[in-house]
Chain A
Amino acid sequence: SQTIHQWPATLVQPVGSPLSLECTVEGTSNPNLYWYRQAAGRGLQLLFYSVGIGQISSEVPQNLSASRPQDRQFILSSKKLLLSDSGFYLCASDGGYSNQPQHFGDGTRLSIL
């Protein structure tokens, strides 16, 4: 079964600082990878997904970017954080086969001051 590792678990950053959140996946090859943001009362919002190394699709325009340098590594970045970037960030993976459930990491709580 898949295991999704995310770090750090919590992060406090000042406005205007850069960001790098990392996600790695164990137990599967060629997974589809996803970044979500979860805000209170608003559900999970898909930010980016990737079907392979170097292949990134963005769902919403924003201050963030994503990269996939290795098959099982997915990185969420920002050059300059905004207050509105605060939230709970979740990485997810599925097996790369269509219509499989996504499995989630335990997330990063990001607070912008």
Chain B
Amino acid sequence: EDQVTQSPEALRLQEGESSSLNCSYTVSGLRGLFWYRQDPGKGPEFLFTLYSAGEEKEKERLKATLTKKESFLHITAPKPEDSATYLCAVRQQGSNYKLTFGKGTLLTVNP
């Protein structure tokens, strides 16, 4: 059973069309939830860490939020350069190291 599920698998937006990506998790006891951006042929680039329900982080057009069961990555007025795969990962209680990743959402922003 997947512990981290991301939806949708793929999302196409027009430039300026805001939307949200979802990451739901089923781990018992969350130590941290991490968002990454991955461009084709590159390694994931760290975006945000969220530690507790109600927490929010922002960076440019991106805003990440966290509840007890899921996280959202809100993209406001996206631009074509925001096109990438967005990955979510969780670290659960009892683990100092291991991250469990979702399969990602492929975002395409058309001009």
B45 to chain A, nearest CB (A): 7
Question: What distance in Å separates the Cβ of B92 from its nearest Cβ neighbour in chain A?
Answer: 11
Q: Given A107-B42, A109-B41, check contact A101 B97 (CB 8 Å).
A: no
Q: How far is the CA of A94 from the CA of B101 in the complex (A)?
A: 16
A41 (CB) vs chain B CBs: closest residue: B103
> B73 near A: Cβ within 8 Å?
no
The distance from the CB of A79 to the nearest CB of chain B, in whole angstroms, is 26
Contacting B101 at CB < 8 Å: which of A43, A106, A107? A43
- Interface membership of A62, Cβ < 8 A: no
Size category of the B interface is 20 to 34
Q: Give A10's nearest chain B residue, CB to CB.
A: B41
Q: Which of A43, A92, A106 contacts B104 (CB 8 A)?
A: A43
| Distance to closest chain A CB from B46 (angstroms) | 5
Chain A residues with CB under 8 Å of B101's CB are 43-44
Of all chain A residues, which has the CB nearest B103? A43
Contact flags A82-113 to B (C-beta < 8 A → 1, else 0): 00000000101010001101111111010000
With the chains together, A81 CA to B46 CA distance in Å?
31
CB contact list, B1-54 vs A, under 8 A: 31-32, 34, 36, 41-46, 49, 51
Q: How far is the CA of A104 from the CA of B45 in the complex (A)?
A: 7
Seen from chain B, the residues whose Cβ lies within 8 Å of a Cβ on chain A are 31-32, 34, 36, 41-46, 49, 51, 87, 89, 91, 96-99, 101-104
Where the two chains meet, the residues of A that have a C-beta atom closer than 8 Å to any C-beta of B are 4, 6, 32, 34, 41-44, 46, 49, 51, 59, 90, 92, 94, 98-99, 101-107, 109
